[in-house]
Amino acid sequence: MAVQRVLTLWDEGQIMETDTRILRAPSLEAPLPFNAEVNEAIRALWDTFLDRDDSVGLAAPQIGINLRIIAVRTTNFDVKDREQRRLDSEILVNPRITQTRGELVALEEGCLSCPGVNIEVSRFPEIKVRAFDDEKGKKLNKRYLDFAARVVQHEIDHLDGKLIVDYEGPVYAPKKYHSFLQTYFDNR
């Protein structure tokens, strides 16, 4: 499976109904041991994630795959070189947050599936996650801090059908989007 199109809630001021239905659906657990479908999904997610230099995370539902798999960059968030991005990133299969620590921190977030919009979202600065790796499905227990923790939480939200527009924080968008977004938020 090659690079996939990233699904969006809207495009050019129009609601993308099919994309929205897919993005809003809770994702299914990936079967263990990994079958051919899971391995293909992992390859598609890697290919699509690494093809974009404007993303620090991507979830399988964002490319139309209804499985609990995410790709996240965990360091060097501004690096554009594809090979370095690959080295600084990982795939997590069936990730679950098992512990949170610290006071919630509010920061502006963007999302490939909500183009043109940033929303202030409060997230924990430290999390522990249980997941499986993309190689052999080996169980992992990992701790993420600060921005990496934010990225992982954002991507796990996607697995539950939740997007940044579901948070109550201030919305930041270029003026050309204001009318459309006002209608969108009034109708949700």
Q: Which residues are catalytic?
A: 155
Exposed/middle/buried for 35, CB within 10 Å: 0-12, 13-18, 19+? exposed
| Cα separation, 49 vs 58, whole angstroms | 6
Structure tokens at 161: 């059908």
CB 68, CB 94: distance < 8 Å: yes
Of 133, 125, 174, the C-alpha closest to 152 is 125
